[in-house]
Amino acid sequence: MADTANYIQDRFQTFMNGLGDRYEPYVREHLSKVYMVLGSTAAATAMGALLQMRDFLDLGVLAAVATLILVLGLHFYKDDGKNYYTRLGMLYAFGFCSGQTLGPLLGYICSINPAIILSALTGTFVTFISLSLAALLAEQGKYLYLGGMLVSVINTMALLSLFNMVFKSYFVQVTQLYVGVFVMAAFIVYDTQNIVEKCRNGNRDVVQHALDLFFDVLSMFRRLLIILTQKLKTFMV
């Protein structure tokens, strides 16, 4: 048992040394800040969802409107070196309102089987950690070419969604859910390497970079929730 623990410790130390050799200190520091802000934004999302589900606070449509206003505000209110905490507050508010909009879906799933939420959360967390490490350990800039392709896929999916509002094809709906999971997984890899490259080029906007990853994680979590719920309902039928 002790030998196994020592082996794991040695492998972990080797891994950390590998990251240390691969990335400059300021890049590692920037990534640490991004991941800390991402984690606290996810906590704000969980709080927003919990308050909505417990009927302590339900912003309803206002939450959806607020998320749109806040994300546009973060896009146009650029980092100038002096507005970090203002933009950080906007990001946390965006996370909280996103949780409010997610609350009704989580409440519905809880009425079916609460274990689905834990499964989707675990799947999202494991996928994010795995793909982030894969992106950081891969050749620098290796996956940046994915950016254009992924945007094209997202645009195509959005167009199909508009058409499907009229035709209401179940096949298209299910296909978009599964393709969407893979697209978000690819975005995690792309955004991770893109953040590193931007940092090296002087762009150290922690809030924007955390927002990019938050979009990926939230979108994947939402899709996994729907997929697992549909699978369970099919099995129950």
- Tens of pLDDT, residue by residue over 73-100, are 998 988 887 899 999 999 999 999 999 9
Residue 231: pLDDT band with limits 50, 70, 90: confident
Note the pLDDT tens digit of each residue in 217-230: 999 999 999 999 98
Residue 2: pLDDT band with limits 50, 70, 90: low
CB atoms within 10 A of CB 140: 14
- Please state which of the ranges 16-20, 23-27, 116-120, 210-214 shows the lowest mean pLDDT: 16-20
Residue 131: pLDDT band with limits 50, 70, 90: very high
User: Among residues 62, 43, 46, 49, which one has the least CA distance to residue 100?
Assistant: 49
Backbone angles phi, psi at 114, to 5 degrees: -60, -25
Which percentage of the chain shows pLDDT scores above 70?
89
Note the pLDDT tens digit of each residue in 45-67: 999 999 999 989 888 899 999 99
- Looking at residue 141, its amino acid is G
Task: Please name the residue that has the structure tokens 């991004």.
Answer: 34
Indicate if the pLDDT at residue 205 is higher than 80. Answer: yes
CB atoms within 10 A of CB 147: 15
3-state DSSP call for residue 185?
Answer: helix
Residue 235: pLDDT band with limits 50, 70, 90: low
d(CA 32, CA 45): 20
What pLDDT is recorded for position 232? 77
- Looking at residue 199, its amino acid is C
Query: Would you call 105 exposed, middle or buried from its count of C-beta atoms within 10 A (0-12, 13-18, 19+)?
Result: middle
Indicate if the pLDDT at residue 124 is higher than 90. Answer: yes
d(CA 3, CA 8): 9
Mean per-residue pLDDT over the chain, rounded: 87
- Please state which of the ranges 59-68, 130-139, 172-181 shows the lowest mean pLDDT: 172-181
Query: Would you call 102 exposed, middle or buried from its count of C-beta atoms within 10 A (0-12, 13-18, 19+)?
Result: buried
3-state DSSP call for residue 114?
Answer: coil
Total residue count of the chain as it appears in this document: 237
d(CA 94, CA 111): 26
Q: What share of the chain is helix, strand, coil (3-state, %, to 5)?
A: 85, 0, 15
Query: Would you call 63 exposed, middle or buried from its count of C-beta atoms within 10 A (0-12, 13-18, 19+)?
Result: buried
Residue 150: pLDDT band with limits 50, 70, 90: confident
Which percentage of the chain shows pLDDT scores above 90?
57
What pLDDT is recorded for position 206? 94
Indicate if the pLDDT at residue 35 is higher than 90. Answer: yes
